[in-house]
Chain A
Amino acid sequence: MTDQKDQRELLPGTLEMLILKTLTRGPQHGYGIAQHIQQTSDDVLQVEEGSLYPALQRLEVKGWVTAEWGISPTGRRARNYKITAMGKKQLGVEASNYERLIAGIARVMGTA
């Protein structure tokens, strides 16, 4: 439980980056994005799935993703999100910021 809590504290901001990255693999609906993040991180990142939606709305209003309704493989109505060109650019920016952040932390931890 505490692990999940700690991880949740990392996620504001980075959640959006993760979503964008996920979408580079192709259009996906909310559930699918959540599944992907969880599986790809080997269950380390357990997202409180509801919080995806505010994040998705933010991405949408900023124009980094677009969305439209479609039918899922199981025949359900689902809203599919697609990354835009602007989103890809933003992803690049955020990714490099993130790497710099990680490198900085690693340096500190390395010399600690």
Chain B
Amino acid sequence: MESLGELLRRVWFFLNSRSRDREVREEMEQHIALKIEASVAAGGDPEDAKYAALRQFGNPTLQREQAHEAWGFGWLETLLQDIRYGLRILYRNPGFTLATVITLALGIGLNTAVFSIVDAVLLKPLPYPERDRLVAFRGSQSLPDVIDIAEQSRSLSSVAAYADWPLDLVGNSEPERVDGAMIGGDMFSALGTPPAIGRIFGEAEDRRMEPVVVSSYAFWKTHLGGDRTAIGRPLQLSGKDYTLIGVMPPEFQLPKSKSQLWIPFRVAYPEAVDARGAHFMFALGQLGSGYTMAQAQSELDQIGAALGKLHPEEARTFTLVALRDRVVGSVKTPLLVLFGAAGLVLLIACSNFASLLMARTVARAQEMKIRSAIGAGQPRLVRQLLTECVLIAMLGAGLGILVAVLGLHFLLSMKPDEVAAFQRITIDRAALGFAIISATITGLIFGLPPAFAFLRSSRVAESSRVVGRTGVRKTLVIAQVGLSLILLASAGLLIRSFWRLQSVPLGFEPEGVLSLRMTLPAARYAAIATQEQFLVRLDNELNSMPEVESAGIVTELPLGGSRMMHNMIVRDLPPVPEGQEPEIYAHEVSRDYFATMRIQMLAGRGFTLQDGPKAPPVGVVNQAFAQRFFPTQNVIGKEVRWARANDLPWITIVGVVRDVRAEALDESQEPTIYTPFIQKVMPWKRSQVVVVRGRGGSPVDPNAIRNAIWKLDNRLPITDVLPLRDVISESVKERRFNMILLTIFAGLAFTLASIGVYGVVAYLVSQRTREIGVRVALGAQRVDILWLVLRQGLQLLFMGAVLGLCGALLSSSLLRDMVYGIGVTDGATFFFVVVALIFIGVLATYIPARRASRLDPMTALRVE
């Protein structure tokens, strides 16, 4: 039990330990001198006196140590000593140190980065106070539906929806595009998060058309200077003034949204307020207290049925899911797979680490024996080795965190939106803790066994025991090579697939084309005639704009994510039982659609002015249709009709166009028929996509097009304004992400395996140094030695490659869903990967081989 004074004294002594030790030494020397003096004065022989004095004094070295221990912090000082010594050892062996630290850093950094994402997306609870009671609607919803459900549902205490809405902020400096969102219903109260400053708005304010805006904390900080007096001031957004009424707390976000500013729906987009068919909002709700999701769902089914009766053409079903599931969605499995793959890489890294440590420990056999001989106990030696392991692990962790930060930054820069909009993903405390803990555990788990095993054998002082170690290391390396080959092959397959996908002919030219989606509200466009009228005016208006080269209208955009199929009967073909008529994609298009999209006409003609509403119905089909139904005949002139609609006229085929990618780049072509919208037969197809090609290849201004449309009907909701290129890019986003990630992992694994190969071969060389010396002395040339070492390395590589190939062939079937255009056992990919592996492997072997071949026989032979 130490008093404070004693503790302070200890610390003071500790800080002055060196001078204190010196003083004690001097004291003892004086003491002994005095003794000798006294003896001599009493008449003794000086020599005898000296021996007698020393004998009576005891062992000064021991006494000095004990004197130091009297006030030293024993364990701490030993630890510091171990650390200092460990650092020195690491510094003296830069090759080893770098290899192990980098190995660990890569493995740990990668896992930390992935863990950060997993943590933010899968593990962290949703940042809303009522998170357990939050549910979301599957699919997209329209505002009128949401408002009706909000009013009628008793089990959902609040229902709200939002739609991401880019806003043009004009004010401080130059106009800036800000991510915003329109909110319908009581969103903020549904989520339960109170504002940090000011107040929020809800359905009441929305109905009163109050032009208010709530800002995120980040936006308030960056754009409004964190100034509290900004509340109450107007912000000019996309031409309207909105008053800032509140700021949300830091880190608050709408689920799956990057928006920073939130405005009421009716104020922002009055045109769409009644558009029940415009489904583009993310809807969620909060369960009332005492209600379960099942209860809310059954009530919702009833409400849905009632709404369906009132508005039959917009009847749909509503499904509730937990908010978390909706937000995480399809990312869960790939993320977990990612985590698993990262884990594999870490495994490779750890085996490298173990391998290197083993080599190191053996190389220090002599040092350990000496230390043991002069009195270091087993525990002390083990502690020493442990300290070094942990030291390396810490260095690895430190570097690994850096790797993680960079890696995460890179990963997030091309992430799928699912992951991006979730929450801000950073390396946070949890991830840091993860890094440090996994580093320490790795250091201990993979560092201890070699240390222990070696120490057991060091007692026997046999170096032949060491041979056993070689076997383990060789196996490790072969396994590493095999594993990395599997990863490489997988990555190769994905890369090749993606490349093929990119070069898939689209059938149309997307460059310079803008697309947007619009829906004609049922209220004003119930009849076919009104729809056709509007579309004709729109078509003419757009095509007469000077900056527009050509504009077209289509009901479903290629690769736009929606499709429409009908059962159809083809005349002149053998009859088919009812219900089993072929399903054919059907689109309604404007006359200039093919020209706008530059879809090539292969035979016959497109639609002309002659194909009017009263003229004989015509249609244009694609190649797939022609090949499927009339492979040997001319398809032009054949007729088709909607199945089970005997009163509808037959449609005559007048032209054939090139196949167009419709669903996804990797799907096969389906028979498709295009009919002119002017000959519409079904009134309920009211949503259209407008495509506009700018003159001279330059893109058109979206606002100009929007205004042109609104000039004809200023209450028409327009959504999804995107260049066509982006639409296509969207469709392959996830594929690209997976491919890049797997490639990175494979690259890492490969690097680590190469380091592993290098390490083992270098070690084997050092084991055979004497033998090499003898060989050289007996006349072996450089080349002979080179080949000797290379052969060993190649053996390892070969075995690893064989193992890896088998593994890759077996496991590649797992990738079946992700591969495109090539088989899962694509010969070219495998061949290339194996060649790359062998090449790098040989390189890794070559370095120690070269060193071996340059060994001076004299030095070699002198090695113990």
A residues bordering B, Cβ < 8 Å?
Answer: 29-31, 34, 46, 48-51, 53-58, 60-63, 69, 72, 74, 76-79
Contacts and interface: CB of A to CB of B under 8 A. Distances in A.
Contact of A54 (B6, B9, B23, B67): B67
State the 3 A-B residue pairs at the shortest beta-carbon distance, nearest first: A50-B58, A50-B63, A57-B70
Contacts of A48: 56-58
B73 to A, nearest CB: 11
A23 to B, nearest CB: 15
A8 B23 CA distance: 26
B577 interface: no
B70 A49 contact: no
A62 B28 CA distance: 21
Interface string B61-90: 011101111110000000000000000000
Contacts of B9: 60-63
A72 B34 CA distance: 10
Given A53-B67, A54-B70, A31 B62 contact: no
Contacts of A54: 63, 66-67, 69-70
Nearest to B69: A54
A72 B70 CA distance: 26
Contacts of B70: 54-55, 57-58, 61
A51 B58 contact: yes
Given A46-B56, A72-B30, 17 more contacts: A30-B27, A31-B34, A49-B58, A50-B28, A50-B59, A51-B66, A53-B63, A53-B66, A54-B66, A56-B67, A61-B6, A61-B9, A61-B70, A62-B9, A63-B6, A76-B30, A79-B23
Nearest to B2: A62
B19 to A, nearest CB: 12
B69 A76 contact: no
A30 B58 contact: no
A111 B267 CA distance: 107
B445 interface: no
B71 to A, nearest CB: 4
Contacts of B6: 61-63
A62 B56 CA distance: 27
A76 B30 CA distance: 7
B43 interface: no
18 contacts: A48-B57, A49-B35, A49-B56, A49-B57, A51-B58, A53-B63, A53-B66, A54-B63, A54-B67, A54-B69, A54-B70, A57-B24, A58-B71, A60-B9, A61-B9, A61-B13, A61-B70, A61-B71
Given A50-B28, A61-B6, A63-B9, A76 B34 contact: yes
A79 B62 CA distance: 20
A69 B22 CA distance: 13
A19 to B, nearest CB: 13
Contact of B37 (A46, A53, A74): A74
A50 B24 contact: no
Nearest to B27: A79
B31 interface: yes
A61 B10 contact: yes
B631 interface: no
Given A57-B71, A61-B9, A78 B57 contact: no
A5 B582 CA distance: 110
A50 B5 CA distance: 27
A50 B71 contact: no
Interface string B15-38: 000000001101110110111010
Nearest to A33: B31
Contact of A50 (B23, B26, B37, B62): B62
Contacts of A69: 23
Contacts of A63: 3, 5-6, 9
B308 interface: no
B662 to A, nearest CB: 86
A49 B31 contact: yes
